[in-house]
Amino acid sequence: MKQILVATDFSKSAANAMAYAMELASVLNRDVCAIHAIHPTEGINNSTYNAIFIEDYYNNKRQALREWAAVFSEQEAYASVNVTTLCDVGFLKNVITRYVDSNPVELLVMGITGSTGITGIVGSNASIMVTKVKTPTLIIPLESKFSKTPMITLATDFETRLSADDVNALNEMVRAFGSEKMNVLYVAENPDDKHIQAGEARLSELITHTELEFNYISNSSPLNGIIDFIESHETDILCVVKHTHNIVYRLFTRSTVNQVMNKSVKAILVLHE
């Protein structure tokens, strides 16, 4: 069965992300794997004693991960969700990449401290993962909670093409939630009517399980326009598409992501071309 992969460092934000993922898995009928990366130098302080007994340290970490995951898997509400764990040695990107390459991972979920602690996605584990891993990635701020009927807003400039996997994932999510409507927020520096019409038609062919409501930013600042839209329209999950030259994604690779997280965005789903 397809899986939702949850990266954890045992923090409060990771626990919040795991709770979100468990709710999501129960709706989508997916398995969950909690994964923890042990830094290559962790547990070793250049001493012979630590070098000899490092495997004990690793085993303790693996047991701690199992116990951490059990807090969620043993809840009656999640009885139908199969939960596994993986605790491996290496950098987070490498550990997750190895797992994704050999397992049917449909979605990666990561928690961040949100407006209270993040200084921008750049340099964070979340930034590294959305840059290096092509798996759809759901970033959950600490303040965000799961909604059983989330309003999804897709911010796009109509320039990028979603990958087939991401289209399927988005359609499955919309269908599972029973979403009657999904907002599409058009963001562009130089709007063009023909480009807009073609983009609307293309998205309507791809996203088929809900009504698409197209909205347009008239604000001179795309970022302010997104924030204004989020403040005036219900949004639980904001979708952006990762592409180096995509105006929407560029907004979320700088510290300006803080300004959005500080508002009413509950989660950011990063998709790929």
pLDDT for res 44: 65
- What does the block give as tokens for 92? 């987070």
Nearest-angstrom CA–CA distance, 108 and 2: 12
The predicted pLDDT at position 72 comes to 96
Give the residue ranges of DSSP H helices in 125-246.
125-132, 164-177, 193-206, 222-232
- What secondary structure letter does DSSP report for 43? T
Q: How many CB atoms lie within 10 A of CB 198?
A: 12
- Spatial neighbors of 243 by CB under 8 A, at least 6 apart, are 159, 160, 249, 272, 273
Q: Work out the burial of residue 1: count CB atoms within 10 Å of its CB; fewer than 13 is exposed, 13-18 middle, 19 or more buried.
A: exposed
Residue 251 has a pLDDT of 52
How confident is the model at residue 189, as a pLDDT?
64
Beta bridge partners of 141: 112
pLDDT of residue 255: 40
Q: Provide the 3-class DSSP secondary structure of residue 132.
A: helix
> 76 CB contacts (<8 Å, ≥6 apart)?
none
Q: How far apart are CA 164 and CA 101, in angstroms?
A: 17
**Euclidean distance between CA atoms 48 and 60, whole angstroms:** 19
Q: Go through the domains of the chain in sequence order and give each one's CATH number.
A: 3-141 (3.40.50.620), 152-272 (3.40.50.620)
Burial 71-90 (b: 16+ CB within 10 A, else e): ebbeeeebeebebebbbbbe
d(CA 132, CA 129): 5
What is the SS3 assignment for 128? Answer: helix
- Taking alpha carbons only, the member of 183, 194, 182, 260 closest to residue 221 is 260
pTM attached to this predicted model: 0.83
Query: Which DSSP helix (H) or strand (E) runs through 184?
Result: strand 181-186
Residue with tokens 């219900």: 234
Q: pLDDT means per 10 residues in the chain (273 residues)?
A: 92 93 93 93 62 80 96 95 95 91 92 53 57 80 85 81 78 85 81 81 87 82 77 83 56 47 65 71
**Sheet of 83-89: strands edge to edge?**
83-89, 31-38, 3-7, 105-112, 137-141, 268-272, 237-242, 152-156, 181-186, 211-216
Query: pLDDT at position 257, please?
Result: 42
Question: Residue 215's beta-bridge partner residues?
Answer: 185
